Amino acid sequence: MQRLVLTLLVAYCTLTGSVRAQDPLPSWNDGKSKQSIVAFVAKVTKAGSPDFVPPAERIATFDNDGTLWAEQPIYTQFAFAFDRVKALAPKHPEWKDQEPFAALLKGDMKGALAGGEKALFEVLIATHAGTTTEEFAGIVKDWLATARHPVTKRPYTEMVYQPMLELLAYLRANGFKTFIVSGGGIEFMRPWAETVYGIPPEQVIGSSIKTKFELRDGRPVLVRLPELNFLDDKAGKPVGIQQHIGRRPIAAFGNSDGDLEMLQWTAAGAGPRFCLFVHHTDEAREWAYDRTSHIGKLDKGLDEAAAKGWTVVDMKQEWKGIYPPAK
Amino acid sequence: MQRLVLTLLVAYCTLTGSVRAQDPLPSWNDGKSKQSIVAFVAKVTKAGSPDFVPPAERIATFDNDGTLWAEQPIYTQFAFAFDRVKALAPKHPEWKDQEPFAALLKGDMKGALAGGEKALFEVLIATHAGTTTEEFAGIVKDWLATARHPVTKRPYTEMVYQPMLELLAYLRANGFKTFIVSGGGIEFMRPWAETVYGIPPEQVIGSSIKTKFELRDGRPVLVRLPELNFLDDKAGKPVGIQQHIGRRPIAAFGNSDGDLEMLQWTAAGAGPRFCLFVHHTDEAREWAYDRTSHIGKLDKGLDEAAAKGWTVVDMKQEWKGIYPPAK
């Protein structure tokens, strides 16, 4: 009997040891970025060390487009909006003669985008407002269930970066609370962020339009209005972080100049801080773009990262894989 | 040896049993309200039952003024603002001749309030804007450290309701995530809500003014601007809940008509729901007010609670104590 107990004890300890020794970031090559991540996490979680950070303050914020999932050849939310224009066209006969809708309906993307930001904003408002919040969540879910990425033909929710999924899980396993802080629409991300990233709706921060509380036949609804509420990009990101979290992150992850202010805000806090840019360098497995790209431009950010010693991930060199295996 | 193990086992089970049998709501008399709370929690946490709610969806929202802490004779945040007018007066010589500041500086509260909501808003903006977010948090903490309630002479952070502190802890022990949803200023509550209520800043929702990201000598700051951003009251509460949480609460707690829309929004969700009003009926230990009060008016709410079978707490009858023991 004593021998059995001993054997079980040894077996248990061996098992525990092997679980502990497992690599929490298997899709990351053992390069500079992985080492800097692991060193930071070890530092802030070591009880009694001067760099120890209590779990409640272990806030990590992640950009979404280009940081957690692909953003090429166009932002996924734009693909959604363009598909919605087609779906809504029967209810809007006037769109046939009205730009940018007319061009979009003819499949003329270049013509549609000729109107610049103003035209794009019109499309976003026309396709994102007018429903209740619950209806909109349903529309997003339905679209994601059938829409496919134009290049890979995979569902958009599989165009996420496997190394970043591992990073999210690794941080949470070490007591971090992970947040999305994206220029994308807050209600466009919430319906799927929990399933795909393990991030609950209350930890998703993004751009928004105004909503209005109404009683419809005695039943309360929130109606989405055709008016911008908040733009969660560039200098808006620290504002969104303060508004939603009320506490400065100790780690921030982005991929473009739109994330620079979030990283500056994070870096400027007292105590240990971690800032990271994902650098899109992989023209074969993903896309290669930075200083001159229209989408996900990373220019000032690269310079500031170099000057301040922030971590810059070379996707081509440092990631063993890009996307998770197909489901 | 065997006997020792047995003795320890029995001792352990007895201890566990007695811990389990302890009342989690000792300041609540065993009346209707306590029974309805305990029944609801038992129902939604019972695995396998049709009313079971997964922990991620156990969202509970609490109003602050009059629900978690006292709001008489004036809202604590107004007391703060009036004290700030006095503190800032040396930098604003023009206030001597400018209402409502002149009246406030003379201690003439009635005269100051004669200007109505517009005057009050001017005072709030003058005392809440112009600093960075970090400076403002410091000002709030410093004020709370020395300010005393005009009637009880206790620190405002001890003017909280002991039965509600127990309720917050009880819900969290049962897997609920507790949020504040208050008409009060979000940045006025965050500096102390974690210590006093166990509610972290990212679970505090409130009214806000706009902020702006700036680099000051290369150091990023968020500056508080003299412009309303969001009013988290009445029909604003469901809007604030959706903006911050993105998920409908299954339980909501308030004390005034300003909370009615939050309770309506909560009650209208599918599955088990719990709505509660704290009714201020205790003129001896606290204050008694409802349908005709200027502060914390509870009129429509009382009618709707009766019609819909919501829980209404009779403070005088159902609470054994009001405030926690002095520290």
Report yes or no: A12 and A21 within 8 Å, Cβ to Cβ. no
pLDDT at A148: 98
Using pLDDT thresholds of 50, 70 and 90, give the confidence band for residue B17.
Answer: very low
Residue B101 placed within a domain? no
Residue B149 placed within a domain? no
Residue A100 placed within a domain? no
- Is B12's pLDDT higher than 60? no
Size of interface A-B (CB pairs under 8 A): 88
- Is B188's pLDDT higher than 70? yes
Range scoring the smallest mean pLDDT among A107-116, A132-141, B134-143, B232-241: A107-116
CATH of the domain at B269: 3.40.50.1000
Q: Chain B residues with CB inside 8 Å of A177's CB?
A: 202
Contact criterion met (CB < 8 Å) for A242 and B211: yes
Mean pLDDT of A77-105: 96
- A156-189 pLDDT, tens digit per residue, is 999 999 999 999 999 999 999 999 999 999 999 9
Q: Residue A119 region, left (φ>0) first, then alpha (ψ -120 to 50), else beta?
A: alpha
pLDDT at B76: 97
Q: Chain A residues with CB inside 8 Å of B1's CB?
A: none
Contact criterion met (CB < 8 Å) for A236 and B215: no
pLDDT at B13: 45
Contact criterion met (CB < 8 Å) for B213 and A245: no
Q: How far is B158 from chain A (nearest CA, A)?
A: 23
3 state SS for chain A: CHHHHHHHHHHHHHHHHHHHHCCCCCCECCCHHHHHHHHHHHHHHCCCCCCCCCHHHCEEEECCECCCECCCCCCHHHHHHHHHHHHHHHHCHHHHHCCCHHHHHCCCHHHHHCCHHHHHHHHHHHHHCCCEHHHHHHHHHHHHHHCCCCCCCCCHHHCECHHHHHHHHHHHHCCCEEEEEEEEEHHHHHHHHHHHHCCCHHHEEEEEEEEEEEEECCEEEEEEEEEEEECCCCCHHHHHHHHHCCCCCCEEEECCHHHHHHHHHHHCCCCCCEEEEEECECCCCCCECCCCCCCCCCCHHHHHHHHHCCEEEEHHHHECCCCCCCC
- B21-30 pLDDT, tens digit per residue, is 689 999 999 9
SS3 B183: strand
Report yes or no: B84 and B105 within 8 Å, Cβ to Cβ. no
Residue A128 placed within a domain? no
- Pairwise CA distance, residues B125 & B308, whole Å: 39
- B62-83 pLDDT, tens digit per residue, is 999 999 999 999 999 999 999 9
Q: How far is B238 from chain A (nearest CA, A)?
A: 7
Q: Chain B residues with CB inside 8 Å of A245's CB?
A: 201-202
Q: Round the average pLDDT of chain B to a whole number and report it.
A: 94
Here the tokens at position A18 are: 């092997």
Residue B203 placed within a domain? yes
Report yes or no: B208 and B186 within 8 Å, Cβ to Cβ. yes
Residue A327 placed within a domain? no
pLDDT at A250: 98
Query: What angle is formed at CA B277 by the lines to CA B276 and CA B279, rounded to 5 degrees?
Result: 145
3 state SS for B201-264: HHHEEEEEEEEEEEEECCEEEEEEEEEEEECCCCCHHHHHHHHHCCCCCCEEEECCHHHHHHHH
Contact criterion met (CB < 8 Å) for A243 and B187: no
Report yes or no: B178 and B169 within 8 Å, Cβ to Cβ. no
Q: What is the domain range of residue B172?
A: 25-72+154-318
Mean pLDDT of B24-46: 98
Mean pLDDT of B281-292: 98
Q: Edge to edge, what strands does the sheet with A204-216 contain?
A: A219-230, A204-216, A177-185, A59-62, A251-254, A274-279, A311-314
Q: In chain B, how many domains are there?
A: 1
- Is B7's pLDDT higher than 70? no
Tell me the CA end-to-end span of chain B in Å, nearest whole number.
47
- Is B164's pLDDT higher than 50? yes
Contact criterion met (CB < 8 Å) for B220 and A238: yes
- Is A17's pLDDT higher than 50? no
ipTM of the complex: 0.93
Mean pLDDT of A118-131: 95
| Mutation choice for A interface testing from B195, B243, B245 by most A CBs within 10 A | B243
Residue B40 placed within a domain? yes
- B200-235 pLDDT, tens digit per residue, is 999 999 999 999 999 999 999 999 999 999 999 999
pLDDT at B326: 84
By CA distance, what is A237's nearest residue in B?
A: B213
pLDDT at B21: 62
- A132-142 pLDDT, tens digit per residue, is 999 999 999 99
pLDDT at B177: 98
Q: How far is A104 from chain B (nearest CA, A)?
A: 31
- Is B11's pLDDT higher than 70? no
Contact criterion met (CB < 8 Å) for B235 and A247: no
The better pLDDT of the pair A6, B211 is held by B211
Residue A109 placed within a domain? no
pLDDT at A294: 92
